[in-house]
């Protein structure tokens, strides 16, 4: 049975995250991994004229792309985060929309050269629902790239996740974890022509790596 998401509760959760994660003095930056300066950069997106970041968080990656003249739009569930990112990055040319990602992709017909997620909505949204919608919103030859922590061995599928500690108000969401081969299979089933999922090792041996997934449509 699919995980049952409470959108109002998750909005409150991500508003709380926004209050702690957003930094007023941040600069535009693009990194797929949780380690600054580690791994590939935006070249994985190809040479897009337009991008959509799903679960855009603090907006630093989107601002980085907008600075390069790319039409850059981000979607995030948190009204608090979207207000902060709009104030901070709108002058860079980035656009931020407050919406639930599945609803946004279903209701808006704009298409993009690249759609991506960095520890964002691709981690927290049922891929059986998300991937077909992403596929529909890509221009011919478009790419979908996402990164997130790899699955803990033996713990696959939707995983419940508390945020903000284990005392106080119960704020939680679901994240989705699979082996790389399963991610590839989910993408090809959704209509992608090719999909490659790999785990990029951390810069320090024994530390948590990064799942990095790249998919294309014809």
Answer yes or no: is 1 within a domain: no
Answer yes or no: is 145 within a domain: yes
CATH of the domain at 68: 3.40.50.150
What domain count does the chain have?
Answer: 1
**What's the pLDDT band for 163 if we cut at 50, 70, 90?**
confident
Q: Is the pTM of this model over 0.95?
A: no
Answer yes or no: is 34 within a domain: no
Q: pLDDT tens digits for 121-144?
A: 999 999 999 999 999 999 999 999
Q: pLDDT tens digits for 72-126?
A: 999 999 999 999 999 999 999 999 999 999 999 999 999 999 999 999 999 999 9
Answer yes or no: is 27 within a domain: no
The Cα 197–Cα 188 span in angstroms is 12
Answer yes or no: is 53 within a domain: yes
Answer yes or no: is 147 within a domain: yes
Answer yes or no: is 40 within a domain: no
Q: What is the 3-state secondary structure (H, E, C) of the chain?
A: CCCCCCHHHHHHHHHHHHHHHCCCCCCCCCCCCCCCCCCCCHHHHCCCCEEEEECCCCCHHHHHHHHCCCEEEEEECCHHHHHHHHHHHHHHCCEEEECCHHHHHHHCCCCEEEEEEECCHHHHCCHHHHHHHHHHCEEEEEEEEEEECCCCCCCCEEEEEECCCCCCCCCEEEEEECCHHHHHHHHHHCCCCEEEEEEECCCCCCCCCEEEEEEECC
> Tokens 């419940």 sit at which residue?
160
| Residue 22: predicted pLDDT | 79
Residue 102: phi and psi, rounded to 5, are -65, -40
Percent with pLDDT over 70 in the chain:
92
The parent domain of residue 150 ranges over 7-14+47-216
Answer yes or no: is 33 within a domain: no
| Residue 23: predicted pLDDT | 83
């Amino acid at each position: 049975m699919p995980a049952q998401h409470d959108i109002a509760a998750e909005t409150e959760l991500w508003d709380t995250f926004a209050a702690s994660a957003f930094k007023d003095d941040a600069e535009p930056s693009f990194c797929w991994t949780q380690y600054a300066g580690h791994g590939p950069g935006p070249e994985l997106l190809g040479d897009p004229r337009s991008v959509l970041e799903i679960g855009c968080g603090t907006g630093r990656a989107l601002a980085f792309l907008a600075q390069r003249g790319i039409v850059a739009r981000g979607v995030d569930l948190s009204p608090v985060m979207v207000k902060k990112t709009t104030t901070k990055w709108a002058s860079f040319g980035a656009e931020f929309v407050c919406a639930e990602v599945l609803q946004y992709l279903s209701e808006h017909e704009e298409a993009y050269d690249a759609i991506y997620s960095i520890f964002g909505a691709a981690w927290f949204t049922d891929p059986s629902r998300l991937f077909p919608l992403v596929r529909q919103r890509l221009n011919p030859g478009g790419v979908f790239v996402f990164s997130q922590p790899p699955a803990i061995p033996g713990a696959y599928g939707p995983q419940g996740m508390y945020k903000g500690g284990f005392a106080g108000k119960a704020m939680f969401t679901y994240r989705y974890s699979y082996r790389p081969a399963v991610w590839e299979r989910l993408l090809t089933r959704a209509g992608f022509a090719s999909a490659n999922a790999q785990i990029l090792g951390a810069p320090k041996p024994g530390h948590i790596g990064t799942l990095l997934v790249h998919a294309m449509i014809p």
